Amino acid sequence: MSIRVAVAGAAGRMGRTVVRAVHGDPDLTICGALDVACLGEDAGTLAGVGVVGIAISDSASSMLEDSRADVLVDFTRASAAYQNAVAALKLGVSPVIGTTGMPAEQVVELARLSEEHGTGCFMAPNFAIGAVLMMLFARQAARYMPEVEVIEFHGEQKIDAPSGTAMRTLDFIHEGRAARTAVRPEREEFKLPGARGGDSDGVRVHSVRLPGYVAHQECLFGGLGQTLTIRHDSTDRVSFMPGVLLACKQVRGLKRLVVGLEHLLEL
């Protein structure tokens, strides 16, 4: 039986890409669309796949009930994604959330609601399989090269900094270098405040926001007489779609909140 998928943020760039991907997957059916823009317009027409008979709505609860959705894919903003996920879980709909920047207490509440309603919920800071590999490789490298800095690049409209991917990568790096600490000078002089970026327990992280970027990140490791760079580039939003489609197909088998695409992959 086809899995019924609704899309939040369906009028946005990521939302339209998700609609196209779901429409093209034989195991999934696009059944609902949510956004505050382009109300009443056909989600398929906006996504460039032709008329699908799904009008964009601005009411999450009504749209989810009327569409009989199994899954809600959300690429909106953190505050909206949280409210959408709460509405979905209370209706037995499984959220697949790609929006980053959600406060920790809201993530905890989604975990509680997921278990309370026995409905799977999935979140990932990055749905690109290559990005997941980058994070895992960084964790392994940090065991042997604890001197590391992270630089992430996104388009000028991205709100949160560092990105969710960078924050997740920092978690992996700290796991890898737990038994070793990086060497830092006793005193650093900053001629310009913030010139060395943010500091996460000794790991510097830098956020770039410029037109032309989609999602890019590199982890720079330094050692005696050598450097190692682990970099991932998403040059098109379609890079996230295999992970999104995988999550749509697996989230209904979950009974709790799961964070991170690595948990759905056979790595």
Q: Which residues are catalytic?
A: 154, 158
Any residues with CB less than 8 A from the CB of 97 and at least 6 apart, and which?
74, 81, 85, 121, 122, 123, 124
Distance CA(117)–CA(99), nearest Å, equals 22
Q: Write the burial class of residue 260 (CB in 10 Å: 0-12 exposed, 13-18 middle, 19+ buried).
A: middle
Residue 220 CA to its chain's centroid (Å): 22
Of 15, 16, 30, whose CA–CA distance to 76 is shortest?
Answer: 15
Distance CA(248)–CA(7), nearest Å, equals 11
Helix (H, G, I), strand (E, B) or coil at 92: coil
Distance CA(171)–CA(244), nearest Å, equals 22
